[in-house]
Amino acid sequence: MRAMGKSRVLFGVFGALVVVSAASAGGASTPGVTSKQILIGGTTPLSGPASAYAAVAKGADAYFKYVNDHGGVFGRSIKYKYEDDAYDPSQTIQRTRDLVQNEKVFAIYNTLGTEQNLAVRSYLNQLKVPQLLVASGASTWGNDFKKYPWTIGYQPSYKGEATIYGRYIAKTRPNARIGVLYQNDDYGKELVAGLQRGLGQKAKLIVSKQGYDVTDTDVKSQIARLKSKKANTLMVFATPKFAIQSYSSARLLGWRPLVFVNAVSSASNTMTIAALASSKRQTEGSISIAFNKDPVNPRWKGDKAVTLFRTILKKYNGGQGLTDVYNVYGMSSAFTLVDALKHAGKNPTRASVMRAVTHLDERNNPFVLPGIVIRTTPTDHFPIAQARLERYHNGNWVYFGSIVHIG
């Protein structure tokens, strides 16, 4: 066991230095790669409070199965073992260790959650196991690549997203009185920091910030507080449940601010519930950003990628999740991984796949909005750094403005 571990480590270093010779020598000795299959793994909340996000893994898995039925990658099929961590970081550690040490996966991929990925980042980097396309918007995945070179994120960072809102408000609503509702943890605080950065000199437009805890029953008190500060613009930096409550609580107070709702909660499904729980007038005019195609949005009726998305889910996921944008996210992430594996060479190694994901220039991912290029360089580790602003109108999201860069 010990000897094997050592040779694996040596191999990683060697591979990083001489990619070509490593690739030719690779094959047999790269964990998880055989002549027929590439085994990857990750964790996802199949049960527990965050299990709505399981679609992220299921969408990706369905896409891999589709790719496998169409020849795989260089003749190898991709097997994606996603295991349940119930959104509990201590379980993420257990499952990930098992995947790496017993299942001998090639890489950890698409593990969901900020805390969950932080919990295994040091471990994976010590062993030089790639931690690919982390499903979390924390900016640390892109910022701290020097310290953790085996880790890379995927989606736009929360901080970058809120920066966009800040800039937009500074430019278009100089008289705004901004009230912020945020989840009282790293995720919410990162959005608040991004908003302040985007507002720049206009940061004093923020009249009140109210936090809530994930364990709170409701956000009535916070919304009432923001209203009493005479805010006319409401930032909702909250997960779907609390975002919906923000709308319904504001309605009960007879308060109709302009709402900016973070991408985590702006899926069409969530907005439909928000409109039911409050009123159509209450959700009208809300602003958010999008980077994936929302399958419910009539804008994408007849779109090739959305049609493909439905076909794949019907065939490989029992027809589940046809209206769920999280499935689209999973497929776009899987598309990028397949793209990277193709660029990692005929005999991929852990080093060569890291090289590939840090040299992405993907213009043809059909599951993201047209015009978005998924690009990385050795010094820019944010794969999706573009999005479009959108406004909720008559029960649908309508894109406006050109593509914005999320820095």
Partner 1 sequence: MLVGVDWAGVAQQVVAGLSSGGTYATLAVALVLIYRATGVVNFAQGELAMFSTFVAWTLTRHGFAYWPAFLVTVLASFAGGIALERAVIRPVERASVLTIAIVTIGLFFIVNGAAFWIWSPEVKSMPNAFSTRPIRIGGVAFAISDLGIIGVSLLAVLLLWLFFRFTKLGLAMRAAALNPESSRLTGIRVSWTIALGWGLATALGAVAGLMAAPPLGSFDQNFMQPILLYAFAGAVLGGIDSALGAVIGSLALGVFLNLLGTYVSWVGTDLRQAAALAVILGVLLVRPAGLFGKLAVRRV
User: Which parts of this chain interact with partner 1 (CB under 8 A)?
Assistant: 47-52, 54, 184, 210-213, 215-218, 220-222, 224-225, 227-229, 240-241, 244-245, 247-249, 251-255, 269-270, 273-274, 276-278
Coil vs helix vs strand at 93: helix
Return the number of the residue (129 or 261) whose C-beta is nearest partner 1. Answer: 261
* Residue 37 or 208 with smaller CB distance to partner 1: 208
CB of 252 to partner 1, least distance (A): 5
HSE, CB side, 13 Å, CA atoms: give it for residue 303.
19
Pick 326 or 397: Cβ nearer partner 1: 326
State in angstroms the smallest separation of the CB of 112 from partner 1: 13
* CB 397 to partner 1: min, Å: 18
Q: Are 349 and 22 in contact (CB under 8 A)?
A: yes
Which structure tokens are listed for 355? 């090289």
Which CB atom, from 217 or from 402, has the smaller least distance to partner 1? 217
Task: Name the residue type at position 190.
Answer: E
Q: Taking the complex as a whole, how short is the minimal distance between the CB of residue 247 and partner 1, in angstroms? A: 7
CA of residue 180 relative to chain centroid, distance: 22
Question: What residues have CB less than 8 Å from 257, skipping those under 6 apart?
Answer: 179, 227, 231, 232, 233, 234, 250
| Closest approach of partner 1 to the CB of residue 246, in Å | 8
Nearer Cβ to partner 1, position 102 or 215?
A: 215
Alpha helices in 18-88 (DSSP H): 19-25, 54-69
Of 368, 399, 405, which Cα lies nearest the Cα of 386?
A: 405
Residue type, 19: V
- Is the Cβ–Cβ distance between 31 and 56 less than 8 Å? no
- Residue pair 340/328 in contact (Cβ under 8 Å)? The answer is no
Least distance from C-beta 367 to partner 1, angstroms? 20
Residue with Cβ nearer partner 1 (51 or 94):
51
* Amino acid letter, 242: F
